[in-house]
Amino acid sequence: MTEERVPGPLTGIAGVAKGMWTIFKEGFKPKVTKQVPEEKLSYPERTTGRVFLNVDTCIGCTLCEQICPNGTIRMVDFHYEKSQEFDKKYPNRREIYPSVDVSICTHCNLCEEICPTGAITLEAEVEEVHFRRKNTRYTPEQLGKKEVELWGEERE
């Protein structure tokens, strides 16, 4: 036997008062809106933004190229003199490194998960500005830098 509970009128009034008090307190909290042209949006640390590559630890295993669902990552020939220490620990004999087309990247995070040495990471970097479509494919060297550092480069 379940007993039906019918709330009395005082319960309703108390509920209404509680709701209004909650809303009233909400009026004194700080705003969450950012006015975008004037203010900068902030992103959480774990945002999966642009692909970053640490050239020192990349071993050229092509796993990231194989897992990439839409051909964003493509291995390119690239000559880079690693230091003695990194060359011993992370050898890259074929001298191939990933390049990333940021315009078609879906930020799916698969390359970061499959990378055996942790060379590829997706970080909270979302402001990618380009005037030519050919510039959207980043070289391994560019993948190591932040967007702010890249803005100064001549990329026509």
- Report in angstroms how near the CB of residue 10 gets to other proteins at its nearest: 13
For residue 35, state whether it binds other proteins (rule: CB under 8 A): yes
Which residue in 3, 4, 26, 85 binds other proteins (CB under 8 A)? 26
* 27 versus 44: smaller Cβ distance to other proteins: 27
For residue 30, state whether it binds other proteins (rule: CB under 8 A): yes
For residue 13, state whether it binds other proteins (rule: CB under 8 A): no
Which residue in 27, 37, 44, 71 binds other proteins (CB under 8 A)? 27
Which residue in 4, 5, 6, 22 binds other proteins (CB under 8 A)? 22
Only segment of 29-37, 41-49, 110-118, 145-153 that touches other proteins (CB under 8 A): 29-37
For residue 29, state whether it binds other proteins (rule: CB under 8 A): yes
Which residue in 24, 42, 44, 154 binds other proteins (CB under 8 A)? 24
Return the structure tokens found at 19: 């709701």
Taking the CA of residue 123 as centre, how many other CA atoms within 13 Å lie in the half-sphere pointing to its CB?
A: 13
DSSP the chain: -PPPP---HHHHHHHHHHHHHHHHHHTTSPP----TTTS-----TT---SEEE-TTT-----HHHHH-TTS-EEEEE------HHHHHHS--TT-EEEEEETTT-----HHHHH-SSS-EEE-S------SSGGGGEEPHHHHTS-HHHHHTS---
List residues binding other proteins (CB under 8 A). Answer: 16, 19-20, 22-24, 26-27, 29-33, 35
